[in-house]
Amino acid sequence: MKSVIVINTHSFVDLITNSSSELFVCNTKKTTDMVRDLLQKLLNAHGELQGNFDRYQFSSVFGTIEEAPYIFDLDKFDETVVESYKLYQRAGDSSHRFGPGQSRPSSFVEAIAAEEDIQRTHPYYTNPINRKPWDKRTVTEAAQMDTWGKDCRLQESIIWTKFGAEKLETEMQLFVNFLQVNNFPLVDIASVQALIPGVVADYIKNNYGKWGGVDNLFRDVGFPAHLQPVGERFNEYESWGIRVASGNILIYSADDNSVPYELFDLINLYLTSTRYHIG
């Protein structure tokens, strides 16, 4: 769980990771030192008004304060890459309901139909044992259900692997575009791009199903070690839908929910921020 505050400024610092629970994306000309001073004043005033000044030590509320090293803004990415990425993200989101005329990947449509067929015909779903309470099943019946369950999960993974591999590829291409937007050396971009076919082939070979993500790329033995922190940062932005502009400042909380709720609106007011709850 993470808390980040993002603020426009004019400097650059190295990647620092931390744990947190709120994210403020801010638009300000303040430097990191100015932001730190402002937060200290807000925290001091809050502690005084609460009558418990000692409770709110800066280091126990806020963690690392840094300028964001990378841009993550889908509006600045390649339109074709983003549209493909969004198409597969919508399809992979079980809560998304497709409206009339809204397209879905053919691999998704095929997998849905095949999964429904399994649910109609596979003994894990159709055998009368399935309707027995767990504590009423014999040892033999429980073992049989376990065997059927494993087979059913395998069959469903096989069914969804084509879609999952296509979805994975759109996420990896988004990462390549992320490197391009952030002006990484062409040799780095080419080395990552060259890994993608092998990562997709491995995904398909192992029938990883529906849920595999871009981590498959970052875990590949050929992925450049010096880009691992970049992949972690990309994961953070992409997972939480965080929009980060050039020159933003990131302010991490010291721990989960360590920033007092009462400071949220004040931070928004004085740093012109948008708050994300990411924990």
What predicted TM-score, i.e. pTM, was given to this entire model? Answer: 0.83
AA identity, residue 68? A
pLDDT at 1: 52
Report the candidate in 271, 267, 69, 51 with the shortest Cα–Cα distance to residue 181. Answer: 69
pLDDT at 101: 66
- DSSP annotation of 214 reads T
Average pLDDT over residues 53-78: 87
- Residues 53 and 155 both lie in one domain: no
Residue 173 in this model has a pLDDT that exceeds 60: yes
113/220 Cα distance (integer angstroms): 32
* Count of domains forming the chain: 2
More confident residue, 50 or 198: 198
- Residues 93 and 35 both lie in one domain: no
* Pairing of β 22-26 and β 248-253: unpaired
248/204 Cα distance (integer angstroms): 39
What beta strand segments (E) does 21-78 contain?
22-26, 62-67
- Residues 123 and 255 both lie in one domain: no
- Residues 215 and 193 both lie in one domain: yes
Could you give the percent of the chain with pLDDT greater than 70?
A: 90
DSSP string, 122-181: -HHHHSGGGGS-GGGS-HHHHHHHHHHHHHHHHHHHHHHHHHHHHHHHHHHHHHHHHHHH
Q: What's the pLDDT tens digit per position in 120-156?
A: 999 999 999 988 998 899 999 999 999 999 999 999 9
Residue 8 in this model has a pLDDT that exceeds 60: no
- Residues 165 and 229 both lie in one domain: yes
Residues 6+ apart with CB under 8 A from 58: 39, 40, 43
Residue 34 in this model has a pLDDT that exceeds 90: yes
For residue 95, give the 3-state DSSP assignment: coil
Provide the pLDDT confidence category of residue 53 given band limits of 50, 70 and 90: low
AA identity, residue 35? V
Q: What's the pLDDT tens digit per position in 79-93?
A: 999 999 999 999 987
Q: Can you name the residues that pair with 249 across neighbouring β-strands? A: 7, 67
Count CB-CB contacts under 10 A for residue 9. 20
pLDDT at 3: 54
Average pLDDT over residues 149-168: 95
Count CB-CB contacts under 10 A for residue 113. 10
**What are the Cα distances from residue 128, in Å, to 124, 132, 151?**
9, 7, 17
Q: Can you name the residues that pair with 263 across neighbouring β-strands? A: none
**What are the Cα distances from residue 214, in Å, to 12, 154, 234, 238?**
26, 22, 10, 10
- Residues 64 and 92 both lie in one domain: no
Provide the pLDDT confidence category of residue 7 given band limits of 50, 70 and 90: low
- Residues 103 and 223 both lie in one domain: yes
- Residues 188 and 55 both lie in one domain: no
- Residues 62 and 145 both lie in one domain: no
pLDDT at 268: 85
Could you give the percent of the chain with pLDDT greater than 90?
A: 56
Average pLDDT over residues 66-78: 92
- Residues 141 and 23 both lie in one domain: no
**Domain housing 145:** 74-236
- Residues 90 and 225 both lie in one domain: yes
Provide the pLDDT confidence category of residue 115 given band limits of 50, 70 and 90: very high
For 134-154, give one letter per residue: b (16+ CB within 10 A) or e: eeeeeeebeebbeebeeebee
119/123 Cα distance (integer angstroms): 9
Report the candidate in 187, 243, 188, 182 with the shortest Cα–Cα distance to residue 12. Answer: 182
- Residues 153 and 58 both lie in one domain: no
Q: What's the pLDDT tens digit per position in 204-256?
A: 999 999 888 899 999 999 999 999 999 999 998 898 889 998 888 888 888 88
Provide the pLDDT confidence category of residue 19 given band limits of 50, 70 and 90: very low
pLDDT at 15: 39
Mean pLDDT of the chain: 87
Residues 6+ apart with CB under 8 A from 144: 127, 129
Provide the pLDDT confidence category of residue 2 given band limits of 50, 70 and 90: low
